[in-house]
Amino acid sequence: MAVIADRLGGRRIAVTGATGFVGTALVERLLRGAPDCSLVLLVRDGRRTSAARRTEREILANDAFDRLRESMAGGGETFEEMCSRRITTISGDVGMDGLGLNDEGREIMRTVDTIIHSAATVSFDSPLDQAVEINLLGPTRIARLCHDLGITPHLVAVSTCYVAGNRRGTAPEELVSEGPFDIGLDWRREVESSRRLRGDTEADSRRPERLSEFRRRARSELGAAGAPALAAKTEQIRERWVRDQLVTAGRSRAASVGWPDAYAFTKALGEQALVESRGDVPVSIVRPSIIESAWAEPRPGWIRGFRMAEPVIISYARGLLREFPGVPEGTIDVIPVDLVVAAIIAVAAAGPESAPFISHVASGGVNPLRYRTLVDHVSAWFTAHPLYDNEGQPIVVPEWRFPGRGKVQTQLSRAKTLIARAESVLQALPLRGERAELSATLETRRMEVERALEYVELYGLYTECEAIYQVDNLLSLWEQLDDADRNAFCFDPRVVDWSHYVNEIHLPSIIQHARVKTTPGRSRTGDRSSRLRSQVLDAKRQVAAFDLENTLIASNVVESYSWLATRRLDPMERLRYTARTLAETPGLLRMDRRDRTDFLRHFYRRYEDAPIEQIETDVDAMLTGLILRKSFPEGIRRVREHRAAGHRTVLITGALEFNVAGLKPLFDEIVAAKMSVRADGTLSGEMVAVPPTGEARAQILADYCDAEGFRLDECVAYADSSSDLPLFEAVGFPVAVNPETRLAAIARKRGWLVEHWGTSRGFSKPLLPIGPVLSEAERRRTFR
């Protein structure tokens, strides 16, 4: 008979961490395997999503429940009705005292018989204070809540085998604080220290010299994106710096006392704190090793998110990681998630009277998977089933070597430095369009190297680990089960055939979930671009906003001014003007990159004293002599396609209003820079309002949509520079046209549509667009 299901019948079981990998599998198994129990799920509210909604979207919508959902199809009760009857969700957070429960949540917790605590920050590079608050204090907070509520449910705490630390040889199922390797750490002092460190690091990040450096890095990344965008990026960099400092502190502290990382370190102290503070709450601790995809339940290969091994394996298969530290004859202690879940349920069903105090769920002691064996399986599998590069060629996996961690880190760090220097050189050049894509490619390569380095730093200690985790208590519990329970809740590590698991279950599963190319032939990037183009031209879109310079025409404000300013000069004066302007070009470029608005104000001063009547006459000629001559036919065609689709078309440009007046037939609205005119009919050289650049463009489009009843998320924006980032981020459909280096990298990272438009062939390309030679009478009035 099925004893486990019977024992759990009628129980109300609270589960923390249900949105995670183990937690989702645990909820599914309890619903399917113990049909008479009910669940209370403690779920943290999202920023915009309630805990109950997260349960629906992030837990019950997962494909782990497909088997259960299908088995109930056509029955008397639907899957949704069963979940509504058996599941209660309460909003809570194990990182807060009292779990952040309201009065209703506390009353619901009074009714539970068992608590399975699987919530944790499982990242190996968590900031120290975050790992302390969740991993160390989380279990203790649950025990204290039980004391406050006057209840004594069986608390099953999910920990990790790696609380044993960096030891060699056998690791028994016992508390580290009671074993021979205890070094007498006080968990309370570690909590105080981590909280103090957070405050000190936050204060350090706000020192003037730090903030100046953060702002410099923000400007280097975004260019002249405008004050709000730079401020947001600066704050993002500051927060990232704080996080990085706390991650480093966690690694350093853990290493100094014998643990591989902050995760294992805080889990070990969490066990110690729980034992000291549990009072009369009965506790059982379940310690899995490295949890990977399912052996059988709910289906072979089921996995939620990538775990530890998957990023390393995929990087190797893609040729990005050619070697990884490790001991070839050492053991990689992997355990499928369904065996872990079955063990947790068996411990919960046994109750505090019969369940072991500590149970390892690990394979190394009874069914070891050797590191070399795993590597051989992976290498053979990807030789037979290679991934393909963007050109459609199979990626030949390298011969795996087993170097020391220090050697690999040195090689990757050197590669990262060289790529970063090349990126810096390219970003200083005025490249755009397809040539700027090289910078984006370098950034992608740098990120790949950084990821490989991160994998080595995070996981290298685990592949070099030589601890053997004993499973005596686990197997003792297994021996107590009858055949029905063994079939329904298998947690014996000896059942796993590693060759079958790696080759037939795990590797096919991770390839299915990874975004990798598994078929020959060129990558269908054109298809992706076509899909994005069809989206921007869909009739559902409402407004298409265009920049002008380098987006619709291969020209800029300097060229427009030069055309007008030289129109009435004799050849010698033109030559002097050209030499003078070329000499000024580097300084003008620097000013433009620093702040587009300041550059325009500075440059437009040159229009001072120009007669407006003459300007208006000359711009008519400039429309055909410069603007249309240097326009991008594909860009003009795109404007017309938007109009044909019923979209409003808006030109938002920093060019002067009179210079773009000839483009009015193309657009429903033109927003351009305006210059004041004196009473004598000459231009003042001063702006009437802030030129429409940077963040001002985003506000202009937002105001336009608000006035006309349109939605920003149904708008399309076309521009070429990182200074247009606020506009891109405001709309639902950004399109980078002939992007300069910074924007090319941003667009690739965010998956935006990128267009490369060019001028018609056959036109000469002078250094400066000099206007046509006029007669002496026509040159009577001019300006410089």
Distance of CA 647 to the CA centre of its chain: 33
Length of the chain: 784
pLDDT band at 456 (very low <50, low <70, confident <90, very high): low
Which segments within 176-234 are labelled E, that is strand? none
Strands 683-687 and 715-719, bridge-based pairing = unpaired
Q: Could you tell me if residue 567 is left (phi over 0), alpha (psi between -120 and 50 degrees) or otherwise beta?
A: alpha
Give pLDDT tens digits for 629-679.
Answer: 889 999 999 999 999 999 999 999 999 998 888 899 999 999 999 999 999
Residue holding tokens 């056959």?
762
Peptide bond before residue 298 is cis, with ω within 30 degrees of 0: yes
Is 123's pLDDT higher than 90? no
In the predicted model, what is the mean pLDDT of residues 387-395?
83
* Closest by Cα among 205, 180, 219 to 722: 219
Confidence grade of residue 440 (pLDDT, cut at 50, 70, 90): low
On whether the CB atoms of residues 224 and 592 are closer than 8 A, the answer is yes
DSSP letter for 404, please: -
436 band by pLDDT with thresholds 50, 70 and 90 = low
Q: Which domains does the chain have, with CATH numbers?
A: 532-763 (3.40.50.1000)
What pLDDT, on the 0 to 100 scale, is given for residue 520? 79
Can you give the pLDDT at residue 1? 52
Exposed, middle or buried: residue 467 (CB in 10 Å: 0-12, 13-18, 19+)?
buried
- pLDDT at 469 > cutoff 80: yes
Asked if 543 and 710 touch (Cβ cutoff 8 Å), the reply is yes
In tens, the pLDDT along 525-552 reads 557 788 999 999 999 999 999 999 889 9
Higher-pLDDT residue of 319, 757: 757
pTM of the model: 0.79
- What is the structure's pLDDT at 308? 60
Query: Residue 145: what pLDDT?
Result: 96
pLDDT beyond 60 at 573: yes
pLDDT of 780 reads 46
Looking at the DSSP bridge assignments, the partners of residue 611 are 682
**Is the predicted pLDDT of residue 763 greater than 90, yes or no?**
no
- For residues 704 and 543, is the Cβ–Cβ distance under 8 A? yes
- Is residue 81 classed as helix, strand or coil in its secondary structure? helix
Which two tokens mark 239? 């927060």
pLDDT tens profile 15-35: 999 999 999 999 999 999 999
Torsions phi, psi of 151, nearest 5?
Answer: -120, 155
Tell me: pLDDT of 586 over 90: no
Q: Rounded to an integer, what is the distance from CA 62 to the centroid of its chain?
A: 20
Question: DSSP strand E in 294-403: where?
Answer: 334-336, 358-361
**Residue 411 in tokens:** 């090689």
Q: Token digits for 40?
A: 């209370």
Better-scored residue on pLDDT, 609 or 782: 609
Q: In sequence order, what DSSP letters do the residues of 679-725 get, joined into one string?
A: TTSBEEEEESS--S-THHHHHHHHHHHHHHT--GGGEEEEE-SGGGH
In single-letter form, the type of residue at position 434 comes to: E
Query: Token pair of 372, please?
Result: 């070399």
Confirm if 347 and 285 have CB atoms less than 8 A apart: no
Strand, helix or coil for residue 481: coil
Q: Which of 98, 135, 362, 153 is nearest to 271 (CA)?
A: 135
Alpha helix locations (H) across 158-256? 187-205, 208-222, 227-256
Burial of residue 304, with CB atoms counted within 10 A of its CB: 0-12 exposed, 13-18 middle, 19 or more buried:
buried
CA end-to-end distance (rounded Å), the chain:
98
Residues 6 or more apart whose CB falls under 8 angstroms from that of 346 comprise 4, 355, 477, 481, 485, 489, 491
Q: Which amino acid is at 134?
A: I
- The 3-state DSSP class for residue 359 equals strand
Residue with tokens 């004196």: 678
Q: Supply the DSSP string of 759-779, one letter for each residue.
A: PPTT----SS-PPPP--TTTT
> What's the rounded Cα separation, in Å, for the pair 508 and 317?
13
pLDDT reported for residue 772? 55
Reported as a pLDDT band with limits 50, 70 and 90, residue 779 is very low
The pLDDT score that the predictor gives to residue 762 is 56
Contact 16, 118 (CB under 8 A): yes
Separation of alpha carbons 38 and 90, rounded Å:
14
Between CA 701 and CA 698 the distance in angstroms is: 5
Q: Which two structure tokens, joined as six digits, stand for 295?
A: 């052996």
Could you say which DSSP state residue 401 is in? B
Under a CB-based contact definition with an 8 Å cutoff, are residues 629 and 588 in contact?
no
Task: Compute CA distances 548 → 640, 667, 718, 721, 769, whole Å.
Answer: 15, 12, 9, 11, 17
Confidence of residue 106 (pLDDT cuts 50, 70, 90): very high
Alpha-carbon distance 386 to 376, whole Å?
15
Q: What is the pLDDT of residue 387?
A: 87
Between residues 369 and 123, which one has the greater pLDDT? 369
Higher pLDDT, 780 or 280: 280
pLDDT band at residue 281, thresholds of 50, 70 and 90?
very high
Question: Taking 90 as the threshold, does the pLDDT of residue 190 lie above it?
Answer: yes
Q: How confident is the model at residue 215 (pLDDT cuts 50, 70, 90)?
A: very high
- Per-residue pLDDT tens for 153-177? 999 999 999 998 888 888 888 887 6
* C-alpha closest to that of 230 among 742, 607, 773: 742
At a CB cut-off of 8 Å and minimum separation 6, what does 644 contact?
A: none
pLDDT surpasses 50 at 396: yes
User: What's the pLDDT score for residue 166?
Assistant: 81
Q: Round to whole Å and give the CA distance between 231 and 481.
A: 61
Residue 733 and residue 544: Cα distance in Å, rounded? 9
What average pLDDT does the segment 493-516 reach? 91
Give the chain's mean pLDDT.
Answer: 86
- Higher pLDDT: 363 or 773? It is 363
Best mean pLDDT range from 269-278, 302-311, 416-425, 694-703: 269-278
Residue 694 identity = G
- 3-class secondary-structure state, position 117: strand
How sure is the predictor about 359, in pLDDT bands with cuts at 50, 70 and 90? Answer: very high
Q: Of the given ranges (279-283, 323-327, 747-751), which has the lowest mean pLDDT? A: 323-327
What are the residues whose beta carbons fall under 8 Å from the beta carbon of 233, sequence distance 6 or more?
A: 218, 221, 222, 225
Mean pLDDT, rounded, for 502-518: 87
> Torsions phi, psi of 558, nearest 5?
-65, -40
In this prediction, residue 256 carries a pLDDT of: 92
Locate 667 and state its tokens.
């657009």
pLDDT at residue 766 tops 60: no
- Mark residue 512 as left, alpha or beta (left: phi above 0; alpha: psi -120 to 50; beta: remaining): alpha
**pLDDT score of 263 more than 70:** yes
User: Residue 624's CB: how many other CB atoms inside 10 A?
Assistant: 10
pLDDT of 626 higher than 80: yes
Select the more confidently predicted residue: 571 or 333.
333
State the pLDDT confidence band at 118, using cuts at 50, 70 and 90: very high
Structure confidence by residue, pLDDT tens digits, 287-327:
999 899 999 999 999 998 766 667 778 877 877 777 666 67
Query: Which strands make up the sheet holding 733-737, listed edge to edge?
Result: 669-673, 648-656, 543-546, 715-719, 733-737, 753-755
